[in-house]
A and B are shown apart, each in its own frame.
Chain A
Protein backbone atom coordinates (compact mmCIF):
# COMPACT_ATOMS: atom_id res chain seq x y z
CA UNK A 1 0.00 0.00 0.00
CA UNK A 2 1.39 3.35 -0.96
CA UNK A 3 0.13 6.30 0.98
CA UNK A 4 -0.56 9.67 -0.52
CA UNK A 5 -1.42 12.91 1.25
CA UNK A 6 -3.47 15.77 -0.09
CA UNK A 7 -2.20 19.25 0.78
CA UNK A 8 -4.38 21.87 -0.84
CA UNK A 9 -4.42 21.04 -4.56
CA UNK A 10 -1.26 18.99 -4.29
CA UNK A 11 -1.02 15.23 -3.98
CA UNK A 12 2.13 14.23 -2.09
CA UNK A 13 3.60 10.75 -2.51
CA UNK A 14 6.23 9.61 -0.03
CA UNK A 15 7.57 6.12 -0.77
CA UNK A 16 9.54 4.57 2.05
CA UNK A 17 12.71 2.49 1.80
CA UNK A 18 13.51 1.29 -1.72
CA UNK A 19 12.02 2.42 -5.01
CA UNK A 20 13.21 -0.39 -7.25
CA UNK A 21 11.77 -3.03 -9.55
CA UNK A 22 9.81 -4.55 -6.65
CA UNK A 23 8.00 -1.40 -5.62
CA UNK A 24 8.13 0.77 -8.76
CA UNK A 25 5.20 -0.81 -10.65
CA UNK A 26 2.78 -0.19 -7.74
CA UNK A 27 4.02 3.37 -7.26
CA UNK A 28 3.70 4.09 -10.98
CA UNK A 29 0.23 2.61 -11.14
CA UNK A 30 -0.97 4.56 -8.10
CA UNK A 31 0.50 7.88 -9.24
CA UNK A 32 -0.68 7.67 -12.85
CA UNK A 33 -4.16 6.58 -11.74
CA UNK A 34 -4.42 9.66 -9.54
CA UNK A 35 -3.22 11.87 -12.38
CA UNK A 36 -5.87 10.27 -14.57
CA UNK A 37 -8.48 11.31 -12.00
CA UNK A 38 -7.33 14.91 -12.30
CA UNK A 39 -4.66 15.26 -9.62
CA UNK A 40 -2.22 17.26 -11.68
CA UNK A 41 -0.27 19.01 -8.89
CA UNK A 42 2.06 16.27 -7.78
CA UNK A 43 4.92 16.05 -5.28
CA UNK A 44 7.20 13.06 -4.91
CA UNK A 45 8.73 13.32 -1.45
CA UNK A 46 11.79 11.05 -1.30
CA UNK A 47 12.87 11.99 2.22
CA UNK A 48 12.04 8.47 3.43
CA UNK A 49 13.45 6.78 0.33
CA UNK A 50 16.94 5.47 0.96
CA UNK A 51 17.49 3.77 -2.41
CA UNK A 52 16.29 4.29 -5.98
CA UNK A 53 17.16 2.12 -8.97
CA UNK A 54 16.73 2.49 -12.69
CA UNK A 55 13.16 1.18 -12.33
CA UNK A 56 12.45 3.99 -9.87
CA UNK A 57 13.81 6.56 -12.30
CA UNK A 58 11.44 5.22 -14.94
CA UNK A 59 8.50 5.93 -12.59
CA UNK A 60 9.67 9.55 -12.35
CA UNK A 61 9.88 9.71 -16.15
CA UNK A 62 6.42 8.19 -16.67
CA UNK A 63 4.85 10.51 -14.09
CA UNK A 64 6.58 13.59 -15.49
CA UNK A 65 5.40 12.59 -18.97
CA UNK A 66 1.81 12.03 -17.83
CA UNK A 67 1.75 15.40 -16.07
CA UNK A 68 3.25 17.22 -19.03
CA UNK A 69 0.48 15.78 -21.22
CA UNK A 70 -2.12 17.21 -18.83
CA UNK A 71 -0.39 20.56 -18.26
CA UNK A 72 0.21 19.46 -14.70
CA UNK A 73 3.01 20.34 -12.28
CA UNK A 74 5.55 18.10 -10.65
CA UNK A 75 8.21 18.59 -7.98
CA UNK A 76 10.52 16.14 -6.26
CA UNK A 77 12.02 16.74 -2.84
CA UNK A 78 14.00 15.14 -0.03
CA UNK A 79 16.63 13.39 -2.17
CA UNK A 80 19.51 11.80 -0.28
CA UNK A 81 23.00 12.07 -1.77
CA UNK A 82 22.83 8.79 -3.67
CA UNK A 83 19.45 9.50 -5.22
CA UNK A 84 20.58 13.03 -6.03
CA UNK A 85 23.59 11.61 -7.86
CA UNK A 86 21.29 9.30 -9.82
CA UNK A 87 19.12 12.25 -10.88
CA UNK A 88 22.17 14.25 -11.92
CA UNK A 89 23.93 11.46 -13.81
CA UNK A 90 20.76 10.59 -15.70
CA UNK A 91 19.86 14.18 -16.54
CA UNK A 92 16.55 13.95 -14.67
CA UNK A 93 17.54 17.04 -12.73
CA UNK A 94 17.17 18.91 -16.04
CA UNK A 95 13.55 17.90 -16.62
CA UNK A 96 12.16 17.62 -13.10
CA UNK A 97 11.84 20.43 -10.57
CA UNK A 98 13.93 19.35 -7.57
CA UNK A 99 13.52 21.27 -4.32
CA UNK A 100 14.75 20.82 -0.78
CA UNK A 101 11.70 19.77 1.21
CA UNK A 102 8.01 19.02 1.12
CA UNK A 103 6.84 22.55 1.95
CA UNK A 104 8.89 24.00 -0.87
CA UNK A 105 7.69 21.29 -3.26
CA UNK A 106 4.01 21.84 -2.43
CA UNK A 107 4.47 25.58 -2.82
CA UNK A 108 6.24 25.06 -6.16
CA UNK A 109 3.48 22.94 -7.73
CA UNK A 110 0.71 25.17 -6.38
CA UNK A 111 2.33 28.39 -7.53
CA UNK A 112 3.01 26.88 -10.91
CA UNK A 113 -0.65 25.92 -11.28
Chain B
Protein backbone atom coordinates (compact mmCIF):
# COMPACT_ATOMS: atom_id res chain seq x y z
CA UNK B 1 0.00 0.00 0.00
CA UNK B 2 1.37 3.40 -0.90
CA UNK B 3 0.42 6.28 1.31
CA UNK B 4 2.93 9.01 0.59
CA UNK B 5 1.92 12.49 -0.42
CA UNK B 6 3.67 13.40 -3.67
CA UNK B 7 6.48 11.28 -4.96
CA UNK B 8 9.54 13.34 -5.73
CA UNK B 9 10.14 14.11 -9.41
CA UNK B 10 13.18 11.85 -9.36
CA UNK B 11 10.95 8.99 -8.20
CA UNK B 12 8.31 9.80 -10.80
CA UNK B 13 10.75 9.90 -13.69
CA UNK B 14 12.39 6.65 -12.55
CA UNK B 15 8.98 4.97 -12.60
CA UNK B 16 8.47 6.17 -16.15
CA UNK B 17 11.87 4.85 -17.19
CA UNK B 18 11.47 1.38 -15.68
CA UNK B 19 10.12 -1.35 -17.90
CA UNK B 20 6.81 -2.46 -16.35
CA UNK B 21 7.45 -6.17 -16.71
CA UNK B 22 11.19 -6.68 -16.43
CA UNK B 23 12.07 -3.82 -14.09
CA UNK B 24 15.05 -2.94 -16.26
CA UNK B 25 15.87 0.74 -16.68
CA UNK B 26 15.25 2.21 -20.11
CA UNK B 27 18.54 3.20 -21.68
CA UNK B 28 19.28 6.88 -21.19
CA UNK B 29 22.79 8.16 -21.91
CA UNK B 30 24.64 8.45 -18.56
CA UNK B 31 25.35 12.16 -19.01
CA UNK B 32 21.70 12.83 -19.85
CA UNK B 33 20.51 10.83 -16.84
CA UNK B 34 22.78 12.79 -14.51
CA UNK B 35 21.50 16.15 -15.75
CA UNK B 36 17.92 14.90 -15.74
CA UNK B 37 18.13 13.91 -12.08
CA UNK B 38 19.73 17.24 -11.16
CA UNK B 39 16.93 19.08 -12.99
CA UNK B 40 14.32 16.99 -11.19
CA UNK B 41 15.85 17.87 -7.81
CA UNK B 42 15.84 21.60 -8.55
CA UNK B 43 12.25 21.52 -9.81
CA UNK B 44 11.18 19.79 -6.61
CA UNK B 45 13.01 22.32 -4.45
CA UNK B 46 11.39 25.17 -6.41
CA UNK B 47 7.87 23.80 -6.06
CA UNK B 48 8.44 23.20 -2.34
CA UNK B 49 9.38 26.88 -1.95
CA UNK B 50 13.04 26.28 -1.11
CA UNK B 51 14.69 27.80 -4.19
CA UNK B 52 13.66 30.42 -6.73
CA UNK B 53 15.23 31.57 -9.96
CA UNK B 54 15.09 33.89 -12.90
CA UNK B 55 17.03 33.70 -16.16
CA UNK B 56 20.28 34.77 -14.49
CA UNK B 57 20.42 33.27 -11.04
CA UNK B 58 19.12 30.68 -8.63
CA UNK B 59 18.77 31.49 -4.93
CA UNK B 60 17.73 29.67 -1.78
CA UNK B 61 14.71 31.37 -0.28
CA UNK B 62 14.16 28.90 2.56
CA UNK B 63 16.98 26.62 3.73
CA UNK B 64 14.71 24.55 5.99
CA UNK B 65 15.22 20.85 5.14
CA UNK B 66 12.35 19.26 3.26
CA UNK B 67 12.69 15.96 5.09
CA UNK B 68 13.52 14.03 1.91
CA UNK B 69 17.08 12.74 1.87
CA UNK B 70 17.51 13.23 -1.87
CA UNK B 71 16.44 16.88 -1.73
CA UNK B 72 18.07 18.05 1.48
CA UNK B 73 21.69 17.40 0.44
CA UNK B 74 21.38 19.48 -2.75
CA UNK B 75 19.46 22.17 -0.86
CA UNK B 76 22.28 22.46 1.68
CA UNK B 77 24.82 22.62 -1.15
CA UNK B 78 23.03 25.51 -2.85
CA UNK B 79 22.46 27.28 0.47
CA UNK B 80 26.17 26.94 1.30
CA UNK B 81 27.31 28.40 -1.99
CA UNK B 82 28.51 31.98 -1.95
CA UNK B 83 27.91 32.70 -5.62
CA UNK B 84 24.66 33.31 -7.50
CA UNK B 85 25.00 30.88 -10.37
CA UNK B 86 22.33 30.56 -13.04
CA UNK B 87 19.92 27.59 -13.11
CA UNK B 88 21.90 25.77 -15.84
CA UNK B 89 25.09 25.96 -13.81
CA UNK B 90 23.27 24.43 -10.84
CA UNK B 91 21.90 21.63 -13.00
CA UNK B 92 25.47 20.82 -14.04
CA UNK B 93 26.87 21.12 -10.50
CA UNK B 94 24.21 18.91 -8.92
CA UNK B 95 24.58 16.30 -11.65
CA UNK B 96 27.70 15.11 -9.79
CA UNK B 97 25.35 13.78 -7.08
CA UNK B 98 23.05 11.96 -9.47
CA UNK B 99 24.27 8.43 -8.84
CA UNK B 100 23.70 8.62 -5.08
CA UNK B 101 20.36 10.38 -5.63
CA UNK B 102 19.17 7.73 -8.08
CA UNK B 103 20.13 4.91 -5.69
CA UNK B 104 18.40 6.65 -2.78
CA UNK B 105 15.26 7.26 -4.85
CA UNK B 106 15.08 3.62 -5.97
CA UNK B 107 15.58 2.50 -2.36
CA UNK B 108 12.72 4.77 -1.30
CA UNK B 109 10.42 3.34 -3.98
CA UNK B 110 11.23 -0.14 -2.68
CA UNK B 111 10.52 0.97 0.90
CA UNK B 112 7.19 2.35 -0.26
CA UNK B 113 6.45 -1.02 -1.84
CA UNK B 114 6.05 0.46 -5.29
CA UNK B 115 9.06 -1.49 -6.56
CA UNK B 116 10.79 -4.65 -5.42
CA UNK B 117 14.45 -5.29 -5.90
CA UNK B 118 15.74 -8.29 -7.79
CA UNK B 119 19.40 -9.12 -8.35
CA UNK B 120 20.20 -11.14 -11.42
CA UNK B 121 23.47 -12.45 -12.65
CA UNK B 122 24.08 -11.67 -16.26
CA UNK B 123 26.37 -14.10 -18.10
CA UNK B 124 27.73 -15.11 -14.69
CA UNK B 125 29.86 -12.03 -14.70
CA UNK B 126 27.87 -8.87 -14.42
CA UNK B 127 25.41 -8.42 -11.62
CA UNK B 128 22.34 -6.61 -12.87
CA UNK B 129 19.85 -5.13 -10.50
CA UNK B 130 16.26 -4.82 -11.62
CA UNK B 131 13.27 -3.15 -10.06
CA UNK B 132 10.07 -4.91 -11.09
CA UNK B 133 6.97 -2.96 -10.20
CA UNK B 134 4.85 -4.20 -7.32
CA UNK B 135 2.25 -1.47 -7.43
CA UNK B 136 1.49 0.07 -10.82
CA UNK B 137 -0.87 2.74 -9.52
CA UNK B 138 1.78 5.40 -8.99
CA UNK B 139 3.21 4.86 -12.46
CA UNK B 140 -0.25 4.87 -14.05
CA UNK B 141 -1.09 8.08 -12.22
CA UNK B 142 2.04 9.74 -13.60
CA UNK B 143 1.26 8.57 -17.14
CA UNK B 144 -2.35 9.75 -16.91
CA UNK B 145 -1.25 13.20 -15.73
CA UNK B 146 1.07 13.48 -18.71
CA UNK B 147 -1.54 12.30 -21.20
CA UNK B 148 -4.13 14.65 -19.75
CA UNK B 149 -1.84 17.63 -20.35
CA UNK B 150 -0.63 16.60 -23.78
CA UNK B 151 -3.89 15.49 -25.32
CA UNK B 152 -5.97 18.47 -24.20
CA UNK B 153 -5.73 22.26 -24.38
CA UNK B 154 -5.98 22.64 -20.64
CA UNK B 155 -3.40 24.86 -18.96
CA UNK B 156 -1.26 22.49 -16.89
CA UNK B 157 -0.51 22.69 -13.18
CA UNK B 158 3.11 23.58 -12.30
CA UNK B 159 3.84 20.00 -11.14
CA UNK B 160 2.65 18.64 -14.47
CA UNK B 161 4.78 21.16 -16.38
CA UNK B 162 7.85 19.89 -14.52
CA UNK B 163 6.92 16.31 -15.28
CA UNK B 164 6.52 17.10 -18.99
CA UNK B 165 10.00 18.71 -19.02
CA UNK B 166 11.52 15.60 -17.43
CA UNK B 167 9.66 13.12 -19.60
CA UNK B 168 10.67 15.05 -22.71
CA UNK B 169 14.34 15.25 -21.72
CA UNK B 170 14.47 11.51 -21.01
CA UNK B 171 12.61 10.54 -24.21
CA UNK B 172 10.02 8.85 -22.01
CA UNK B 173 7.30 10.04 -24.40
CA UNK B 174 8.49 7.47 -26.88
CA UNK B 175 7.46 4.81 -24.37
CA UNK B 176 4.24 6.42 -23.17
CA UNK B 177 2.84 7.64 -26.49
CA UNK B 178 2.29 5.92 -29.80
CA UNK B 179 4.18 7.44 -32.77
CA UNK B 180 0.92 9.01 -33.94
CA UNK B 181 0.17 10.50 -30.50
CA UNK B 182 3.73 11.76 -30.28
CA UNK B 183 3.42 13.57 -33.63
CA UNK B 184 0.08 15.02 -32.55
CA UNK B 185 1.50 16.22 -29.22
CA UNK B 186 4.83 17.60 -30.49
CA UNK B 187 3.79 21.26 -30.59
CA UNK B 188 2.09 20.95 -27.21
CA UNK B 189 5.22 19.43 -25.65
CA UNK B 190 7.29 22.26 -27.10
CA UNK B 191 4.94 24.85 -25.59
CA UNK B 192 4.54 23.28 -22.14
CA UNK B 193 8.20 22.52 -21.54
CA UNK B 194 8.98 26.23 -21.92
CA UNK B 195 6.80 27.16 -18.94
CA UNK B 196 9.40 26.03 -16.39
CA UNK B 197 12.66 28.00 -16.26
CA UNK B 198 14.52 25.16 -14.53
CA UNK B 199 13.21 22.74 -17.15
CA UNK B 200 14.55 25.05 -19.84
CA UNK B 201 17.93 25.22 -18.09
CA UNK B 202 18.04 21.43 -17.81
CA UNK B 203 17.22 21.00 -21.51
CA UNK B 204 20.00 23.43 -22.45
CA UNK B 205 22.48 21.58 -20.23
CA UNK B 206 21.51 18.25 -21.81
CA UNK B 207 21.71 19.69 -25.33
CA UNK B 208 25.18 21.09 -24.64
CA UNK B 209 26.37 17.83 -23.13
CA UNK B 210 25.09 15.80 -26.08
CA UNK B 211 26.74 18.22 -28.52
CA UNK B 212 30.06 18.05 -26.63
CA UNK B 213 30.03 14.26 -26.69
CA UNK B 214 29.14 14.21 -30.39
CA UNK B 215 31.99 16.63 -31.13
CA UNK B 216 34.44 14.57 -29.06
CA UNK B 217 33.32 11.39 -30.84
CA UNK B 218 33.74 13.02 -34.25
CA UNK B 219 37.23 14.18 -33.29
CA UNK B 220 38.14 10.67 -32.11
CA UNK B 221 36.98 9.20 -35.43
CA UNK B 222 38.81 11.81 -37.49
CA UNK B 223 41.89 12.67 -35.39
CA UNK B 224 43.70 14.44 -38.24
CA UNK B 225 40.95 16.91 -39.03
CA distance A69 to B154 in the complex (A): 8
For A30-56 the 0/1 string (1 means CB < 8 A from B) is: 000000000000000000000111110
Does residue A61 face the partner (Cβ distance < 8 Å to B)?
yes
In whole Å, how far is A106's beta carbon from the nearest beta carbon of chain B?
22
A65, chain B: closest CB distance, angstroms: 4
Please report the C-alpha to C-alpha distance between residue A24 and residue B196 in the assembled complex, in whole angstroms. 16
Chain B count of residues within 8 A CB distance of the other chain: 23
- Pairwise interchain contact B195-A55, C-beta atoms closer than 8 A: no
Among the 9-residue stretches B2-10, B46-54, B118-126, B135-143, the one with 4 or more Cβ atoms under 8 Å from chain A is: B46-54
CB–CB A90/B194 < 8 A: yes
What would 9 more interface pairs be, CB under 8 Å, given A21-B61, A21-B62, A54-B196?
A: A22-B61, A54-B198, A57-B195, A57-B197, A58-B158, A61-B155, A68-B154, A90-B195, A92-B195
Of the candidates A53, A68, A69, A91, which one forms a contact with B54 in the assembled complex, judged by CB atoms under 8 Å apart?
A53
A57 to B52, CA, bound (A): 11
Known A61-B195, A90-B195, A94-B191; contact A21-B158, beta-carbon cutoff 8 A:
no
Which chain A residue lies CB-closest to B161? A61
Given the interface pairs A54-B197, A55-B46, A94-B191, the reply to whether A65 lies near B61 with Cβ below 8 Å is no
Is B156 close to A, CB under 8 A?
Answer: yes
Q: Determine the distance from Cα of A50 to Cα of B191 in the docked complex, in whole angstroms.
A: 26
**Complex contacts, B55 vs chain A, CB 8 Å:** 85-86, 89
The answer, yes or no, to whether B157 is at the interface (CB within 8 Å) is yes
Complex contacts, A91 vs chain B, CB 8 Å: 191, 194-195
> Can you identify 19 A-B contacts, CB atoms within 8 angstroms?
A20-B52, A54-B52, A54-B53, A54-B54, A54-B198, A55-B49, A58-B158, A61-B155, A61-B157, A61-B161, A65-B155, A65-B156, A86-B54, A89-B200, A90-B194, A90-B196, A90-B200, A91-B191, A94-B191
Once the chains bind, are B157 and A62 in contact (CB under 8 Å)? yes
Contact with B along A70-111 (1 / 0, CB 8 A): 000000000000000110011110110000000000000000
Docked Cα-Cα span, A86 to B54, in Å, equals 8
Question: Which residues in A have their C-beta under 8 angstroms from that of B200?
Answer: 89-90
Q: Does B155 contact A68, Cβ atoms closer than 8 Å? A: yes
| CB-defined contacts of B157 to chain A, threshold 8 Å | 61-62, 65
Residues of B close to A65: CB separation below 8 A? 154-157
Which of B55, B62, B161 has the most chain A CB within a 10 Å cutoff?
A: B55
Is there an interface contact between B54 and A95, defined as CB atoms closer than 8 Å? Answer: no
Q: Are B194 and A20 in contact (CB under 8 A)?
A: no
**Does chain B have a CB within 8 A of A12?**
no
**Assembled-state Cα–Cα distance A35/B157 (Å):** 16
- B166 → chain A, closest Cβ, in Å? 16
B25-68 CB mask vs A (1 if < 8 Å, else 0) is: 00000000000000000000011010111110000011000000
A27 interface hit (Cβ, 8 Å): no
A10 at the interface (CB under 8 A from B): no
